[in-house]
């Protein structure tokens, strides 16, 4: 099939490349010229394991193309995916200006029947908004569909190929059949292609992310009780998660959720509720627990080192989660800003996201490797649980650190081992 993907960010690039890999003719387009120039040379501007190789293969085979010519891609394709950003506006709603801009470009260039598929995370009703924009100018036949994206950064290629489900929101059999044909190679037992109405599909995305965020805030709140009474939240989460009705995922206590999706999607869902006179009491609590959780380690740091002013603090991990370079709403930024506010000296290391972090935080030292961050440190704070931090050389750490203090924001170390190695150690909920 001839497919256009408008917006070549994390979602659009993974989607376009993966659809090309299934044998479709895909044109990925973006208004960002620099990005497209890089991609034409096979250079991927984001970190996503396996993606650069797949881009290269499909560029070579000719199934994948990159272009800045959005209009031409629209004219030439039967299916047009919208994968542009929907960041929060000043009212914490999804900013739909990029979606509107693409809808207008489609309205100006549509020349025959096409299915316009929205991949961006958008409030319920947006598909109809796109439809209205297009039908003001174009009187021919076309369909708008909702096909929310559930991929996880860092595991995006796997998630495309082995999705838990593909949700397709449509209102015509023709659009349903075309999208079903496109996704059929991915259908497996227990991993259904779910066809539904458009509004329900749009809500499924926000309801899923809000539920996952709820699990995280729930276990983080339970972790506070565990800490207060001397229980171990990891054991509690394991015992709770073994119940098949609950499941073990998203029950890791830590520093709360961040990233480009959960914070903005929970907020936008709350706003959509308000627009419809519904007060999402649970989600308001989920958000406020998360805000507290992400800086909950600051008192622990103070307990170990006393006055934070002028202390040397090493940070391991900056990205909002391992295996991505994405710094959007990363917890590390909130922590570092608080520590800088108290006049600490920061030496930070992250395997992939330091260049992105430099655009947000300038006045800290970016270390060459994990151990360089530890030089003369009074304390180490583990913020993102990259594998490289999981089995460190304790002897080398102690040779470099001024004081042997560790605050582990992700519970990756064993408290007994820490004690044996001579570290003063604090973690979350145990
Ligand atoms: P992104 O910011 O990485 O990419 C968006 C791209 O759209 C950018 O390259 C930008 O230049 C381009 N763009 C903006 N306006 C354009 C226009 N008018 N024409 C053409 N291109 C335009 O965003 P992302 O992380 O890929 O997210 C895209 C959408 O998918 C968002 O709604 C997001 O909430 C949703 N989503 C993201 C993820 C994720 O893990 N990143 C997961 C699921 C859903």
Residue to probe by mutation, ligand 1, list 29, 260, 267, most atoms within 8 Å of CB: 260
Sheet containing strand 405-408, strands side by side: 365-366, 345-349, 312-316, 379-382, 405-408, 424-426
Is the CB–ligand 1 distance for residue 101 below 6 Å?
Answer: yes
Ligand 1 proximity of 261 Cβ (cutoff 6 Å): yes
Q: Is residue 27 lining ligand 1, measured as CB closer than 6 Å?
A: no
Taking the CA of residue 255 as centre, how many other CA atoms within 13 Å lie in the half-sphere pointing to its CB?
32
Q: In 13-93, at which residue ranges do the beta strands (DSSP E only) sit?
A: 25-29, 64-67, 79-82
Distance CA 419, CA 427 (A): 13
Q: Indicate if the pLDDT at residue 188 is higher than 90.
A: no
* Ligand 1 mean position, distance from CA 1 (Å): 23
* Residue 84 Cβ contacting ligand 1 at under 6 Å: yes
Q: How far is CA 48 from CA 39, 218, 327, in A?
A: 14, 29, 14
- Catalytic residue flag (residue 261): yes
Predicted local distance difference test score (pLDDT) of residue 140: 97
Of the listed ranges 100-114, 185-199, 220-234, 388-402, the one predicted with least confidence: 185-199
Question: pLDDT digits over 67-109, tens only?
Answer: 999 999 999 999 999 999 999 999 999 999 999 999 999 999 9
pLDDT confidence of residue 189: 72
Give the gyration radius of the chain's Cα atoms.
23
Residue nearest to atom 2 of ligand 1 (CA): 85
Strand pairing report for 79-82 and 2-6: parallel
Cα four-point dihedral sign 278, 149, 328, 247: positive
pLDDT band at 427 (very low <50, low <70, confident <90, very high): very high
Are residues 340 and 315 in contact, defined by beta-carbon separation less than 8 angstroms? Answer: no
Quote the pLDDT of residue 191: 81
**Distance from residue 238's CA to the centre of ligand 1 (Å):** 35
Q: Output the 3-class SS for 231-268.
A: CCHHHHHHHHHCCCCCCCCCCCCCCCCCCCCHHHHHHH
Please indicate whether residue 6, judged by its CB atom, sits closer than 6 Å to ligand 1.
yes
Give the containing element (helix H, strand E) for 34.
Answer: helix 33-40
Structure tokens at 82: 């919208």
Q: Is the pLDDT of residue 142 over 90?
A: yes
Ligand 1 centroid, distance to 39 Cα (angstroms): 16
Give pLDDT, residue 391.
Answer: 97
List residues bridging with 379 in a β-sheet. 313
Q: Which atom of ligand 1 is nearest to the CA of 119?
A: 30
**Backbone dihedral angles phi then psi of residue 24, each to the nearest 5 degrees:** -80, 160
CB within 8 Å of 24: residues ≥ 6 apart: 1, 2, 3, 63, 182
pLDDT the model gives residue 327:
96
* Rounded CA separation 335/340 (Å): 9
Residue 389: CB within 6 Å of ligand 1?
A: no
pLDDT in tens, 342-387: 999 999 999 999 999 999 999 999 999 999 999 999 999 999 999 9
Give the count of alpha carbons within 13 A of 133, CB side only.
22
Torsions phi, psi of 311, nearest 5? Answer: -80, 150
Quote the pTM value: 0.94
Mean pLDDT of 383-406: 98
* Phi, psi dihedral angles at 137 (to 5 degrees): -105, -35
Which atom of ligand 1 is least distant from the CA of 261? Answer: 34
> Phi then psi for 25, rounded to 5 degrees?
-90, 110
Predicted confidence (pLDDT) at residue 187 exceeds the cutoff of 90 = no
* Binding site membership of 80 for ligand 1 (Cβ less than 6 Å): no
Mean pLDDT, rounded, for 406-420: 97
- The CA 304 to ligand 1 mean position distance, Å, reads 41
Q: Check pocket membership of 31 for ligand 1, CB cut-off 6 A.
A: yes
What pLDDT score does 190 carry? 76
Quote the percentage of the chain above a pLDDT of 70: 100
Angle at 95 between CA 94 and CA 99, to 5 degrees: 105
Give per-residue pLDDT as tens, 17-73. 999 999 999 999 999 999 999 999 999 999 999 999 999 999 999 999 999 999 999
- Percent of the chain residues topping a pLDDT of 90: 98
Atom from ligand 1 closest to the CA of residue 101:
18
- Mean per-residue pLDDT over the chain, rounded: 97
- CB of 17 within 6 A of ligand 1: the answer is no
Average pLDDT over residues 208-233: 98
* Distance (Å) from CA 151 to ligand 1 centroid: 13
- Check pLDDT > 90 for residue 236: yes
Query: Per residue in 303-319, is it b (16+ CB within 10 Å) or e — as a string?
Result: ebbeebeebbbbbbbbb
Centre of ligand 1 to C-alpha 90, Å, is 18
What's the mean pLDDT in 261-265?
96
CA of 7 to the centre of ligand 1 (A): 6
């Amino acid at each position: 099939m001839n497919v256009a993907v408008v917006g070549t960010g994390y979602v659009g690039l993974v989607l376009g490349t993966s659809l090309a890999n299934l044998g479709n003719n895909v044109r990925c387009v973006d208004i960002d010229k620099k990005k497209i120039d890089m991609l034409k040379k096979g250079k991927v501007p984001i970190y996503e394991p396996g993606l650069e190789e797949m881009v290269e293969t499909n560029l070579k085979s000719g199934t994948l193309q990159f272009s800045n010519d959005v209009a031409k891609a629209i004219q030439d394709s039967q299916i047009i995916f919208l994968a542009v950003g929907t960041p929060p506006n000043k009212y914490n709603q999804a900013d739909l200006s990029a979606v509107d801009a693409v809808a207008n470009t489609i309205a100006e260039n549509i020349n025959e029947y096409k299915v316009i598929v929205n991949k961006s995370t958008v409030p319920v009703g947006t598909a109809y908004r796109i439809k209205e924009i297009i039908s003001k100018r174009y009187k021919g036949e076309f369909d708008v569909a909702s096909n929310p994206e559930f991929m996880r950064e860092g595991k995006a290629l796997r998630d495309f190929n082995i999705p838990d489900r593909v949700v397709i929101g449509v209102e015509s059999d023709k659009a349903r059949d075309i999208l079903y044909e496109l996704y059929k190679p991915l259908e497996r037992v227990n991993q259904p292609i779910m066809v539904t109405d458009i509004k329900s599909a749009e809500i499924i995305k926000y309801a899923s992310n809000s539920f996952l965020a709820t699990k995280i805030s729930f276990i983080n709140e339970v972790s506070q009780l565990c800490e207060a009474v001397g229980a171990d939240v990891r054991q509690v989460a394991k015992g709770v998660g073994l119940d098949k009705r609950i499941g073990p995922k998203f029950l890791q206590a830590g520093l709360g959720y961040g990233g480009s999706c959960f914070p903005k999607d929970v907020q936008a869902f709350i706003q959509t509720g308000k627009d419809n006179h519904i007060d999402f009491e649970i989600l308001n609590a989920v958000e406020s627990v998360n805000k507290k959780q992400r800086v909950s380690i600051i008192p622990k740091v103070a307990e170990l080192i006393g006055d934070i002013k002028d202390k040397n603090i090493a940070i391991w991990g900056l990205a909002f989660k391992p295996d991505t370079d994405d710094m959007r709403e990363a917890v590390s930024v909130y922590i570092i800003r608080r520590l800088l506010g108290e006049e600490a000296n920061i030496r930070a290391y992250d395997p992939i996201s330091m260049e992105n972090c430099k655009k947000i935080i300038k006045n800290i030292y970016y270390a060459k490797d994990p151990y360089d961050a530890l030089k003369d440190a009074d304390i180490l704070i583990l913020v993102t649980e990259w594998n490289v931090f999981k089995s460190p050389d304790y002897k080398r750490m102690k040779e470099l650190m001024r004081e042997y203090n560790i605050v582990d924001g992700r519970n990756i170390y064993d408290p007994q081992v820490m004690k044996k190695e001579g570290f003063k150690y604090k973690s979350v909920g145990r």
